[in-house]
Amino acid sequence: MLTFTIRRLVLSVPTLLFISLVIFLLLELAPGDPMAQVPLTVPPEVKEKMRQALGLGEPIHIRYVKWVVQFFWIEPQVLFDHIFGTTFSEGKLRVISWQTRSPVMDLVIQRLPQTLWVVGVAYVVAIIIAIPVGIYSAYRQYSAFDQFGTFITMIGFSVPPFFTGPLMVVVFAVYLHWFPSIYDTTLVVDDFESFGKQIRQMFLPVMVLALQITAQISRFMRASMLDNFNQDYVRTARAKGMSEYTVVMVHVLRNSLIPVVTVIALGIPSIFGGAIITEQVFAVNGIGQALISAIQANDLPMVQTLTFIFAVLIVLFNLIADVLYGVLDPRVRYD
Amino acid sequence: MTESAPKRIGALTDTIPSQPPRSQWLDVWDQFKQHKGALIGGITFLTIILAVVVGPEIWWVDAQYLPKGREFINLRDTRPIYHALWDESAKVSWLYPLGTDNLGRDTLARMMQGGRVSIAVGLTAMLLSILLGTLIGVTAGYFRRLDGPLMRLTDLFLALPLLPMILVASLLFREALSKTFGVEGGVFVLVVGLIGITSWMHTARIVRGDVLALKEREFILAAQSIGTKPSKLVMRHLLPNVMSPIMVSATLGIAVAIITESALSFLGFGFPPDFPTWGRLLNDSVDRMDLYPERVLWPGLAISLTVLSVNYLGDGLRDALDPRIRGR
């Protein structure tokens, strides 16, 4: 299991490098000019100097290598220094935002926890709801519960987060006053009262995301359980007198989870897309919101780094899904 | 020698078929009719298309009409007509059944105009993505040497953070395309292109899998042995046989494209502000949704209903086109 995990981890490095190259080239080849906002009265030679100051003068490949070194070599050193108080990164150039003139990674460190909290909690909530719903609708196929559940998941599948978000704000925040409509990131959780506040402000964004994920997972859970119920091994298990609980919850469930894990892994990019929208609706200051403001400000180093952080998150979650796959299906491990 | 005619045995006794053989598509249609949700979804989708195509032609208010002066004050912020049911003092007018926005533009006309754009983007982007997906899928499945690189490319695209990259690209390429195709045309090309380029992967995977399985079948061997050229083989023998998964992913692709376009417009990276699409209308009205919730509700419902009906349609098509389920 450990070697399997390590092999997966090593394989993800070239993937990430390649993705970073794709993002870099996308930003490079685009016909936009970061100097477009500078007034026309600025003479060309001054403009050229400004370019140099932003690090735009050098050819593409040198800038790419520089970025890679900064991101993969210098930034980890900074993190190491921060934790252990050493001075490895002293005087080395970090990835600097054009907007704030401060290192991009500082901002990422500030913003990342909010995004991860919302997305992570949403995933947990969704899995807790979706798996039992999927199991029961498959077990009682075409029952009233199944029909209703299928309809609800179809709606959750079809209604986009940028509609459910405002809708929930109108209903639960404006009319009912149950939850705040805006996420307050300055809130410090130190006692039960502030913890309750934190739960309440996380409720709406998490629900919007969880609805999307639940719909996805429970649909596939149901389909996969149905596929397995017709298999011979189920009949064998029943024939040898196993309890219905063991048949469903041990034999069928474990086999049905395998394709569902794949589906979860494939859905991860769209969940992070949904997270960007949810952050925008509820004013959660996560990395999605930072990305949008960076794009609008034409802040290329920030855009590059944030997009890449999204790629890292997606690859990381895929990795977790892969490892889960290995836990569930022993055949995968020994390949 | 003239004895009685030999006794008919075996197959010869078979009677003539009582009715002409049924075509595959008739069977598909019969199965499709069984799926109530798909039938309702299909009818709803067609109705929506009809409404947005014909609607702006017969509706008497122009979507872009901006009232001025006194008319503006009279017209702006009209509430939908059903508001009169519970609030008699509400500002309503039968001429504007869904009300007007803060500039006095008719919501119903804008909804229909916006639907045109949203659905046009959805259909065109779907076509592009299906085209790309089929091309890559067939190439990867048929030519063994290209299989590895193309599938790695597909995996790479699946691991990319697509929405962030679409957002970045939509801002970076906007001006260059606007110069070539005009402001609205440029954005249309941009949005369709971006959605198409980022949503072909699932189609490609499915088509490749099917082509790989079909390639080993006898009829392909037969076609090859009489010297059919690869291009003909693909067009005449392979493509018709992978039509059904392509049709299913095409249907579901419409839903994905409409949602992505609306998400782009919602985040402010899509069409320009005075050019209505459903996502744009939703985005414009979010700021004042506590006062005018209907302006969020209608575009949102339009998007959701379209996507829901398309998803049901896709579900039904998948069942109808699957020969293992058909006839059960």
Angle, vertex CA B262, rays to CA A97 and CA B172, nearest 5: 35
Q: Which of the given ranges, A58-67, A70-79, A132-141, B77-86, has the highest pLDDT on average?
A: A132-141
Between chains, do B171 and A295 touch, taking CB under 8 Å as contact? yes
Nearest to A256, CA basis, from A128, A132, A153: A132
Disruptive mutation site among A162, A169, A272 for chain B (greatest number of B CBs within 10 Å):
A162
On whether the B26-52+110-321 domain is CATH 3.40.50.2000, my answer is: no
Question: Alpha carbon B136 to chain centroid distance?
Answer: 20
Convert the pLDDT of each residue in B65-119 to its tens digit. Answer: 777 777 777 767 777 777 667 777 766 676 777 777 777 677 788 888 888 888 9
3-state helix, strand, coil in chain A (%, to 5): 75, 0, 20
Taking contacts as CB-CB distances below 8 angstroms, the residues of chain A near B269 are: 295
Disruptive mutation site among A141, A163, A169, A312 for chain B (greatest number of B CBs within 10 Å):
A163
Between chains, do A160 and B176 touch, taking CB under 8 Å as contact? no
Q: Give the CA count within 13 Å in the CB-facing half-sphere of B62.
A: 4
Taking contacts as CB-CB distances below 8 angstroms, the residues of chain A near B176 are: 31
> Got the DSSP string for A126-160?
HHHHHHHHHHHHHHTTTSHHHHHHHHHHHHHHHS-
Disruptive mutation site among A115, A177, A222, A295 for chain B (greatest number of B CBs within 10 Å):
A295
pLDDT classification of B8: cutoffs 50, 70, 90 = low
Task: Give the bridge partners for A96, in sequence order.
Answer: A103
Q: Which two tokens stand for residue B184?
A: 């609205």
pLDDT classification of A35: cutoffs 50, 70, 90 = low
Of B267, B293, B300, which is closest to A280 when you measure between CB atoms?
B267
Distance between CA atoms of residues B134 and B140, nearest Å: 10
Q: Return the number of CB contacts < 8 Å for A and B.
A: 128
Task: Give the bridge partners for B100, in sequence order.
Answer: B106
Between chains, do A169 and B165 touch, taking CB under 8 Å as contact? no
Disruptive mutation site among A154, A158, A263, A278 for chain B (greatest number of B CBs within 10 Å):
A158
Taking contacts as CB-CB distances below 8 angstroms, the residues of chain A near B286 are: 166, 281
One-letter amino acid of B199 = S
Distance between CA atoms of residues A236 and A253, nearest Å: 16
What percent of chain A lies above the pLDDT cut of 70? 93
One-letter amino acid of B307 = V
Distance between CA atoms of residues B227 and B229, nearest Å: 6
What mean pLDDT, rounded, does chain B reach? Answer: 81
Taking contacts as CB-CB distances below 8 angstroms, the residues of chain A near B279 are: 162
Distance between CA atoms of residues B182 and B176, nearest Å: 10
Rounded to the nearest 5°, which phi and psi values hold at A218? Answer: -70, -30
Question: What predicted TM-score, i.e. pTM, was given to this entire model?
Answer: 0.82
Write down the pLDDT at residue A34.
62
Between chains, do A158 and B308 touch, taking CB under 8 Å as contact? yes
Taking contacts as CB-CB distances below 8 angstroms, the residues of chain B near A270 are: 162-163
Between chains, do A269 and B159 touch, taking CB under 8 Å as contact? yes
Nearest chain A residue (CA) to B259: A160
Q: Say which residue, A159 or A334, is predicted with more confidence.
A: A159
Greatest extent of chain B over all pairs of C-alpha atoms, in Å: 110
What percent of chain B lies above the pLDDT cut of 70? 88
Q: Is B325 on the interface with A (CB under 8 A)?
A: no
Average pLDDT value for residue range A6-14: 83
Q: Say which residue, A281 or B46, is predicted with more confidence.
A: B46
Between chains, do A158 and B304 touch, taking CB under 8 Å as contact? yes
Between chains, do A269 and B158 touch, taking CB under 8 Å as contact? yes
Q: Which two tokens stand for residue A305?
A: 């780094």
Distance between CA atoms of residues A95 and A91, nearest Å: 13
By the 8 A CB rule, do A253 and A135 touch?
Answer: yes
Rounded to the nearest 5°, which phi and psi values hold at A148? Answer: -65, -45
Write down the pLDDT at residue A89.
67
**Residue matched to tokens 């899509």:** B270
Between chains, do B267 and A277 touch, taking CB under 8 Å as contact? yes
Write down the pLDDT at residue B328.
46
- Distance (Å) from the alpha carbon of A196 to chain B's nearest alpha carbon: 25
Write down the pLDDT at residue B136.
92
Domain boundaries, given as residue ranges, for chain B: 26-52+110-321
Distance between CA atoms of residues B6 and B19, nearest Å: 28
Distance between CA atoms of residues B176 and B161, nearest Å: 24
Convert the pLDDT of each residue in A156-197 to its tens digit. Answer: 888 888 888 888 888 888 788 888 777 777 777 777 888 888
By the 8 A CB rule, do A310 and A22 touch?
Answer: no
For chain B, positions 256-295, list CB contacts with chain A under 8 A.
Answer: 259, 262-263, 266-267, 269, 279, 282-283, 286, 289-290, 293
Between chains, do B159 and A314 touch, taking CB under 8 Å as contact? yes
Of A159, A277, A313, which is closest to B304 when you measure between CB atoms?
A159
Average pLDDT value for residue range A194-220: 85
Q: Is B302 on the interface with A (CB under 8 A)?
A: no
Taking contacts as CB-CB distances below 8 angstroms, the residues of chain A near B296 are: 163, 166-167, 170
Write down the pLDDT at residue B4.
62
Q: Is B158 on the interface with A (CB under 8 A)?
A: yes
Q: Say which residue, B254 or B101, is predicted with more confidence.
A: B254
Predicted ipTM > 0.85: no
Convert the pLDDT of each residue in A234-287 to its tens digit. Answer: 899 989 988 888 888 888 888 888 888 877 777 777 788 888 888 888 888 888
**Residue matched to tokens 């899928």:** B137
SS3 A96: strand
Convert the pLDDT of each residue in B174-223 to its tens digit. Answer: 777 777 777 778 888 888 998 999 889 888 988 998 888 888 888 889 99
- Distance (Å) from the alpha carbon of A3 to chain B's nearest alpha carbon: 23
The pLDDT of residue B124 is above 90? yes
Instruction: Give exposure, A110-148, as e/b (b: 16+ Cβ within 10 Å).
Output: ebbebbebbbebbbebbbebbbebbbbbbbeeeeeebee
Distance between CA atoms of residues A161 and B37, nearest Å: 23
pLDDT classification of B326: cutoffs 50, 70, 90 = low
Disruptive mutation site among B152, B172, B203 for chain A (greatest number of A CBs within 10 Å):
B172
| Sign of the CA dihedral running A153, A158, A160, A164 | negative
Q: Which two tokens stand for residue B59?
A: 């509706």
Q: Say which residue, A28 or B232, is predicted with more confidence.
A: B232
